[in-house]
Chains A and B, each alone.
Chain A
Amino acid sequence: MHPTTETAWLLVGTNLLLFLALAPLFDGIVRRVAARVQNRQGPPLWQPLYDLLKLLGKENIDAVGILPFRLAPLVAFASILCVVMILPVAGRATALTPYVDTLSLIYLLTLGGVAVLVGAFAGKNIFALIGASREMTTMIMVEPILFMILLLGVIKTGSLELTTVLYGTPAGDYGWSGLIMIVIALFALQAFVGRQPFDIAEAEQELLGGPFIEYSGPNYALFKYYMMIKQMFYAYLLVAVFVPLLHSGLLVVDLIAQMLLTAVVFLVIGLLAATHPRYRIDQALNYFAGLFVLALGAVAGALFG
Chain B
Amino acid sequence: MRKELEAQLAVQLHDEVVCVEKTDQRTIFIDVKREAIRRAARIVTDAGGRYMCGVGYDNIARDGTLGMVHTFSMDQNDYFICIRTKVPAIDPVMESITPDLPSAGWSEREFMDMLGMQFTNHPKPKRLVLADDWPAGVYPLRKEVPYDLVPPGAEDVAYQLDEAPPGTRVVPIGPFHPSLHEPEHFAVYVDGETIKGCDYRGFMTHRGIEKLCQTQVSYNEVPFIAERICGICGSVHATAFSQAVESAGGIKIPRRAEYIRTLMLEIERIHSHLLWLGVAGHLIGFDTVFMQAWRVREQLMWLCERLTGNRKTYGMVLIGGVRRDITSAIADDIRAVVKKIEEELRVIHRAIDKDSSIHKRTKGVGTITKEEAIAWGLIGPVARARGVDIDARRDHPYAAYNDMKFDVPVLTDCDVWSTLVVRVLETYEAIRIIHQVLDKMPSGEIFIELKDKIPALRHAITTVEAPRGESTHYVITGEDNRPDRWRVRAPTYTNLQAVPLMLLNEQFGDFPIIMGSIDPCFSCTDRVAVIDLQSGKASSMTRRELEFLSREQLHRV
Contact = CB atoms under 8 A, between A and B. Distances in A.
Tell me, yes or no, whether A binds B.
yes
Interface of A: 34, 37-40, 59, 61-65, 123-127, 130, 196-197, 199-200, 203-206, 208, 214, 274-283
Contact of A205 (B190, B285, B357, B547): B285
Contact of B358 (A59, A64, A277): A277
B89 interface: no
Nearest to B365: A280
Contacts of B510: 280
B281 interface: yes
Given A61-B550, A130-B171, A203 B291 contact: no
B216 interface: no
Contacts, number: 101
A277 B357 contact: yes
B62 interface: no
A64 B551 contact: yes
Interface string B286-300: 111111100100000
Contacts of B283: 205
B170 A203 contact: no
B543 A59 contact: yes
Contacts of A34: 287-288
Given A65-B547, A274-B287, A282-B507, 4 more contacts: A34-B287, A126-B557, A275-B288, A277-B358
B361 interface: yes
B178 A208 contact: yes
B509 interface: yes
B554 A124 contact: yes
B306 interface: no
Interface in B155-178: 169-172, 177-178
B551 A65 contact: yes
Given A203-B285, A205-B178, A279 B360 contact: yes
B291 A39 contact: yes
Contacts of B551: 63-65
Contacts of A206: 179, 508-509, 511-512
B547 A204 contact: no
Contact of A63 (B284, B287, B357, B547): B547
B509 A200 contact: yes
Contacts of A64: 551, 554
Nearest to A38: B291
B554 A63 contact: yes
A280 B288 contact: no
A125 B170 CA distance: 11
Interface string B31-62: 00000000000000000000000000000000
Rank and list the top 9 A-B pairs by shortest CB-CB distance, nearest first. Answer: A278-B285, A38-B291, A277-B286, A277-B284, A280-B509, A63-B550, A205-B179, A205-B512, A274-B288
Interface string B353-380: 0000110110000000000000000000
B: contact size bracket: 35 or more
B286 A130 contact: no
B282 interface: yes
A219 B284 CA distance: 28
Contacts of A196: 285-286
A63 B555 CA distance: 11
Contacts of B479: none
B198 to A, nearest CB: 14
Given A34-B288, A276-B286, A281 B550 contact: no
Contacts of A197: 285, 357
Interface string B204-215: 000000000000
A276 B512 contact: no
Given A40-B291, A63-B547, A205-B512, A280 B554 contact: no
B305 interface: no
Contact of A123 (B289, B543, B554): B554
A61 B547 contact: yes
B193 interface: yes
B287 A127 contact: no
A126 B171 contact: yes
B344 to A, nearest CB: 11
A283 B360 contact: yes
A280 B285 contact: no
Contacts of A125: 554, 557
Contacts of A278: 284-286, 361, 509
11 contacts: A34-B288, A38-B288, A38-B291, A39-B292, A63-B547, A124-B554, A205-B179, A205-B282, A277-B357, A278-B284, A278-B285
B190 to A, nearest CB: 8
Contacts of A282: 193, 507
A61 B555 CA distance: 16
A131 to B, nearest CB: 11
Nearest to A196: B285
Contacts of A200: 509
A120 to B, nearest CB: 12
B507 A279 contact: no
Given A34-B287, A40-B291, A279 B177 contact: no
Given A130-B193, A203-B509, A279-B357, A37 B288 contact: yes
Contact of B292 (A38, A59, A199, A214): A38
A67 B547 CA distance: 15
A196 B281 CA distance: 13
Contacts of A61: 543, 546-547, 550
